[in-house]
Structure 1
Amino acid sequence: MKISFIGAGNVAWHLAQAFEDAGHWICEVYSRDTQKARQLASSLYDTNIQPDLNFSESEAEVIVIAVTDDAIESVIQRIVLPEGVILVHTSGTRSLAEFQKLVEIYSDVYVHTGVFYPLQTFTKDVEMDYSELPFCIESRNELIEAKLTQLASSVSNNVTRMDSDERFILHVAAVFASNFTNYMLTISHDLLDREQLNFDLLKPLIQTTIDKALLSDDPSIGQTGPARRGDWKTTARHLEYLQETNEDYTEIYRLLTDKIRNLYISK
């Protein structure tokens, strides 16, 4: 399949290379940051750097908008598309109906629309196993949905048809599971770094915690710690230390302790 990308950030970087490895041709890459477009194109076999958003002469069958949610509308306002192309975005929160409406307003030709959402945290230089990468696919047209599913299946064994409401809820849950979890680890690193202690000491604990959660149908079963067992002397000492260290961390600790306590009292 012939594919072009708008955007050359982390998502585009990984998807473009995964598609190419699966035998697809990445025709063009466009980015407001020409240097990023050049870097991505140079990592691919035969990809042109698109100088602007005029794709009217593109051979692409699928054009992937891999930009921030806030930038999607701006792209659609300015892009010139070849008739009949499949235009998709990679957002976890922007609905297909909203996307379709924008395309109908701004496009002078008829195009197909869809959603091609990869549920993962992407970092440019971090390798991953694409075969396990979940893809959430959506389109109003069954034939287009089938093509997008086929494209995703050429990369991954984990492809799901999901509507916009389901995808939004999944994205909310993903923020808790990934973004908030990583921020908690950032706090842990900062607390240890202040005392010149090695973050590596926590890594076996972190790994075991994640492994237990993944092996369980209900991660709450594996909850441990002072809040879970009602060890208020320990939590009081923790809070005393945190109040002298960082008020934001104190607030977070108190909130999470209360929520854990309330959850297990209710159970």
Structure 2
Amino acid sequence: EQFSKASGLVQLAGSAKYLLSPVLAGFLLGIADIRLLLIIDICTFFVTVSTTLVVRKGLTGRSVPVSSSMASELREGFRGLTEKKGVFLLAAMGSAITFCLGVVQTLASPMVLSFSNSTVLGTMMTVVALGMLVSSFILGSITIKKGYSRLLASSLFGAGVFMALFGLREDIIFISVSGFLFFAMLPFANTSIDYLIRTNVDNQIQGRVWGIIGLISQLGYVAAYAVSGILADYVFTPLLLPEGVLAGSVGKILGTGDGRGIGFLIVLAGLLLCATAVMLSGMKSIRGLEKRGVYEP
């Protein structure tokens, strides 16, 4: 009954890492070189380990039967994933979603740096991350009892719209507002996916199923990290240089210059995310996941 609140609070904690570190990093790059940031980054390892050891002492667990082999564990996890068509489709669509997110994560910084500096970039990243903080706080304060499939489709569609707006103009205020609203959509989508899957998978195999889901969804990030830089540098940037092929058409809307090809690619990724949201809204198998205990595989 309190699932949406719990999910919101978890994401609230997760969003905290985006708040101070980008501003601090941008400031430090203005007064020092990259070596100082690398030293700080290395030192965070010790903070992580010590924190984990402290938390570990307060955790309790219970013994569970162990399967005979890793292969059987994987088979059981895959069976839990494919038992209901809607759960499997959510995992598969997750790859398309993470691909779009990977594009904007990879290209946002070089796009902003094409017309600004690292200090402005750090401040902008903190501002946009506040969107996730605000919506996570809202989710942690209310209880959502139904309508998760509609919430998923609408939040993903909104994220796609604001992602497209993020790449539309070389205006740091416009980009910050668009980024803030984009990040504000993500906790609602994450909570919806989390709820729809967890309430339709046997508690005994949650870990195995989520391990496979994580593997499938991360493929989108891998693809985005692999191709977005190449596409930006060798395809889209040349198209939107002042003498580029699209300078007289798309360039009239997005502008021309070194960062406009990146902006165009981010716009296309946002439109792809909108299309993914529309597809999700029309899938009966995903809407059927709401009827826990009624819907059959």
Greater RCO between the two (CA within 8 Å, min separation 6)?
2
TM-score for both structures, normalised by structure 2: 0.28
Greater Cα radius of gyration, structure 1 or 2: 1
More helix by proportion, 1 or 2? 2
More strand by proportion, 1 or 2? 1
TM-score for both structures, normalised by structure 1: 0.30
